[in-house]
Each structure stands twice: as structure tokens, then as C-alpha cells.
Amino acid sequence: MFKTKTLKTIAHYIVVMTTTTIQISKSLLEELKSRKSYSKESYEDIIWDLLEDTMELSEETLADIKIAEKEIAEGKVYTHEEVKKELGL
């Protein structure tokens, strides 16, 4: 009547993280602390957020940039004033 299922425990899904210690100045520590979005945010999360800006762009983003550059070259642009007027601002 009932089918038995094999259940996996949460232990199968735990990712092992390596822990290391780095030396930083007090001023850098204060800067990292000031970038926390919430009190329990890890320094790893903060560092990843900072590194994200230097990582390579995706193929989709690069393609979008090329399209935008082509549109700019073709004069398919709007000034700030034109956009504000269109939006009634």
C-alpha cells in the first residue's frame, strides 16, 4: 500500500568550509564592519560582495552591452530632459 522511500539526512547536504585566519589592520576591520548589512553578516559575505564587482561579466550581460553600444552609435538615445518630459517630471 505505501511505497518506502529512502530518505537522506541533512548530513548529506552539509558543505565543508575551510577556516583560515588572516591579518588585517584595525582600520580595515572597521571598514568591513561598517559594510555589514546586518549584525550577523559574515566577513566572507562582505568580501564576496566586494569581489563581485571585479568578476567577469556573463555572456548575456556582455551581449546586452554590445547592443547598447550599437544603439548609442546609431543615435538611438534620449536625453535626461526628454525622459523627464515623457514621464511628466
Name the DSSP letter for residue 10: G
pLDDT tens series, the chain, 89 aa? 455 555 555 555 556 677 888 898 999 999 999 999 999 999 989 998 888 877 888 888 889 999 999 999 999 988 899 989 989 99
Q: In this predicted structure, what is the pLDDT of residue 36? A: 93
Contact 63, 49 (CB under 8 A): no
DSSP 22-52: ----HHHHHHHHHT-SSTT--HHHHHHHHHH
Distance CA 44, CA 35 (A): 12
Contact 36, 46 (CB under 8 A): yes
Going from N- to C-terminal start, the domains of the chain cover 25-55, 56-89
